[in-house]
């Protein structure tokens, strides 16, 4: 079955202006001060025992990491979600699965990201992030966020960054950010278009299953981290 087409629009002039303003003002150290007195969990040391590592940001109920960790036992999968219901249920589901290469943390992912060593991840996935529609909240979208450049730093050369959304505008902004952010030159786009609905039991995450069941078109962007000497 052919997936429905999914147009990813160029962001409008106002969005471009606001993104560029946000990048020029970004001060990650200052942003992270809000967590300086918070007790944050440690990253699971056993995650780093695996040579190949994948991180799912805002993993919801963990469908993606549960399935992929069963398919790829030599890769470690870590999901992080802060939601009071989804994050808690995800951790329970992961503990119940009792799979050595599967890890889950019920916490906010933003202050956790600086804990990862540079170039320690083979894959980062972001499935159906909250679109933060009201313009006054757009600073919370990944494309505007001061943490965005860190995602690229954490990915190994040749590693991948995948983002899927039912919101075309969101992917348009993310695509613009990865192409124009002054600190994201290492990321090369490899795919932009509809999600793959041909795999058996399509629907990598709970939101994706819901969108497929209700006929909501979804799109995806994929990027690969360049080697230093690759243009």
Letters for 197-226 (x = contact with ligand SAM by CB under 6 A, - = none) are --------xxxx------------------
CB 20 within 8 A of CB 148: no
- Where does the chain show beta strands of DSSP type E? 52-57, 75-81, 102-106, 121-127, 155-165, 187-194, 219-225
- Where b means 16+ CB within 10 Å and e means fewer, 135-144 reads eeebbebbbb
Letters for 26-65 (x = contact with ligand SAM by CB under 6 A, - = none) are --------------------------------xxx-----
**For residue 4, what are the CA distances in angstroms to 60, 109, 155, 171, 215?**
25, 32, 31, 16, 9
83 binds ligand SAM (CB under 6 A): yes
Which residues between 84 and 143 bind ligand SAM (CB under 6 A)? Answer: 86, 108-110, 127-130
CB of 69 to ligand SAM, least distance (A): 15
Nearer Cβ to ligand SAM, position 107 or 188?
107
Nearer Cβ to ligand SAM, position 14 or 199?
199
159 binds ligand SAM (CB under 6 A): no
Residue 165 pairs in a beta bridge with 219
Give the distance between the most distant pair of CA atoms in the chain: 52
CB of 147 to ligand SAM, least distance (A): 9
Which tokens hold the place of 36?
């300086």
Residues of this chain that interact with ligand SAM (CB under 6 A) are 58-60, 80-83, 86, 108-110, 127-130, 205-208
């Amino acid at each position: 079955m052919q997936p429905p087409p999914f147009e990813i629009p160029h962001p409008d002039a106002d969005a471009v202006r606001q993104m560029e303003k946000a990048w020029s003002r970004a001060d990650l150290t200052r942003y992270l001060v809000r967590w300086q007195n918070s007790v944050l969990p440690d990253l699971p040391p056993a995650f780093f025992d695996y040579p190949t590592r994948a991180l799912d940001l805002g993993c919801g109920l963990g469908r993606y990491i549960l399935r992929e960790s069963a398919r790829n036992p030599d890769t470690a999968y870590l999901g992080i979600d802060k939601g009071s219901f989804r994050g808690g249920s995800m951790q329970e589901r992961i503990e119940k699965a009792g799979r050595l290469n599967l890890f889950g943390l019920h916490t906010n992912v933003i202050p956790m990201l600086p804990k990862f060593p540079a170039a320690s991840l083979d894959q980062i996935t972001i499935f159906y992030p909250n679109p933060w529609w009201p313009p006054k909240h757009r600073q919370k979208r990944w494309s505007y966020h001061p943490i965005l450049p860190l995602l690229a730093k954490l990915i190994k050369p040749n590693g991948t960054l995948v983002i899927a959304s039912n919101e075309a505008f969101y992917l348009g902004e993310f695509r613009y950010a990865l192409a124009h952010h002054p600190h994201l030159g290492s990321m090369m786009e490899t795919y932009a278009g509809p999600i793959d609905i041909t795999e058996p039991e399509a629907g990598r995450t709970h939101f994706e299953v819901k969108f497929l069941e209700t006929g909501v078109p979804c799109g995806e962007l994929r990027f690969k981290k360049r080697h230093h000497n690759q243009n």
